[in-house]
Structures are given as C-alpha cells and as structure tokens.
Amino acid sequence: MDNSSINNNLIHHLNNQDQGKSFSSSFFISLIVIAIVAGTGLGRLITRVTVKQEKSTTSTNETTTKKSAGIVDKKTFKDNAEGLLKEGGIDGEGNFHLERAGGESQNVYLTSTTVDLSQFVGKKVKVWGETFSAEKAGWLMDVGLVEVLQ
C-alpha cells in the first residue's frame, strides 16, 4: 500500500458533518422552546377559564341566599355538628361557636380556613370539619363545609 491510499482513508471532511449536527441541535432546541411556550400559554388559558367559571358561580350564589359554602367533601370532613352560629370564641380559641342544647358546655368552637362563617351568623347550621385539640374549648373544629338548616 502506498501512503496516498492510507491518507485518503484517514482524512475526513468534518465541515459537512458539523453542519448536519448543528442543524439537528438547533432544531431540537427550537422544539423544546416551542413546547415550553405552548405549555405556559395553555396553562394560563386554563387558569383564566377556571377563574371566570368560579367568578360566575360565586356571583350567582351571592345574589341568592346562601344555603351552603365550603368544600363539599364529607369524606375528608368527618366531624359534624349542628347549632345556632354565634360570633366569638373562648379564650382565643375559635372565632365563632355553635350554641347547642345543654348549655355552654355543649358549645362547639369554630374556626375556618376555607369558609367565611360570618355570613351565617344567627342561622341554624350544620358544619363539617376536622376536630383539633384545645386548651379551653371543649370542642374546637376547623370548618370545611357549612349548610343552613333553616
């Protein structure tokens, strides 16, 4: 074998291969950027539609007398109580309480992270929530759902 045939096998033109790789790399990067932008846009669109639906539901509920409020998941909120909803807790525990038959010792003291209980003050209600330990209150509940009974 002569040296010219050996050199022909060893020498390759890298310029053609680099152009093909840079095209496919830039194409791949473009696809990723497009996917991110499309995903972000779709997420914002879904959020806007959901917020509009919630606003229309809220405005419809506010024009009529509210019968209930909160998260309708009675499996999560297993504890429930009925009574007349009044403002005020006991020694810093709860913001509201339910007056029930049997006197003050039977009151259920309430707080809520999901429901504005002030809309139901003075009404007989049934509440569902989660019981928490308390120092002063006999029964302290975080309300997740409230329904007007009368």
For the segment 119-132, what is each residue's pLDDT rounded down to a tens digit?
Answer: 889 889 988 888 88
What is the mean pLDDT of the segment spanning 67-82? 80
Sequence-distant (6+) residues with CB within 8 A of 99 are 83, 84, 86, 107
Structure tokens at 78: 């297993």
Asked whether the whole model's pTM tops 0.85, one would answer: no
Question: Topology of 68-148 in CATH?
Answer: OB fold (Dihydrolipoamide Acetyltransferase, E2P) (2.40.50)
Structural domain boundaries of the chain? 3-63, 68-148
Distance CA 93, CA 135 (A): 8
User: What per-residue confidence (pLDDT) applies to 14?
Assistant: 59
62 has pLDDT over 50: no
34 has pLDDT over 90: yes
